[in-house]
Amino acid sequence: MLTPIERPAERAPGNIISDFGALYASNGFIGWLFSVTAPVAIILTVGSSGGLSEAEIASWIFGVFFINGLITITFCLIYREPLAFFWTIPGTVLVGQSLTHLSFAEVVGAYYATGILMLVLGLTGWVKRAMALVPLEIVTGMVAGVFLRFGLDLVRAIFNDTAISAPMVVVWLLLGALPKLGRRLPPIIGALLAGVVAVIAFGRFDTSVPMQIELIRPVLQTPAWSVAAMVELVVPLAITVLVV
């Protein structure tokens, strides 16, 4: 039986301008800075290793930020709740492994099928049932396996490029070990800043290529319906979304 769509609650007194402040701006900036660093690096890595063109990778990043940003703003205004719409990072890593033997069109088709499945689960109220059917231990093990390569790459990076990676690891550990300091500067942001400083200090910043700002021209990808892609991706992608 389909459940009715939840109606927005009555609007509380106040407005966006009066409710805005420096604390919320700083929290929003930190959230944005995190979103455009590590997650984008994963998309770039997955797209490059999967043989995608620059236009396809740029369109991927455009979709996950611009479209999800519009949806987030819309639902936050309607429901007056912090409802953030994003993508699943474990799912992106999972797709990267599939791009080695599946086409990008087949992966897009699997995403469509996963979206339909999630829509059905949401409308029918079967989300809790679906989560109960999958033991948490299996899900966490699956997510850990997806991220294993990235964790091992961190260890390899310390030996392959110590000058850049070592300061980042030290700063991350320091901020994580000191809660008071970590609340002022999140460890992931501190590690990012340490990496930038190290890159500049050791002359690793490439200034030969001029920076250019261009408006993205989204590339619309026609999905391909592949049984192999559906079997390999739909259920794991749905599980990662449900757990997140």
Contact present, 87 and 64 (Cβ < 8 Å): yes
Model confidence pLDDT, tens digit, residues 98-118:
888 999 999 999 999 999 998
> pLDDT by residue (tens digit) across 194-242?
998 998 888 877 777 777 777 888 888 889 998 999 999 998 888 888 7
Give per-residue pLDDT as tens, 27-50. 788 778 777 777 788 888 888 888
Least confident of 7-16, 68-77, 221-230: 7-16
- Residue 241 tokens read as 């979304």
Q: In this predicted model, which residue has the larger pLDDT, 57 or 19?
A: 57
Q: How far apart are the first and last CA of the chain?
A: 25
The per-residue pLDDT for 135 is: 78
Tokens read off for 205: 């910043």
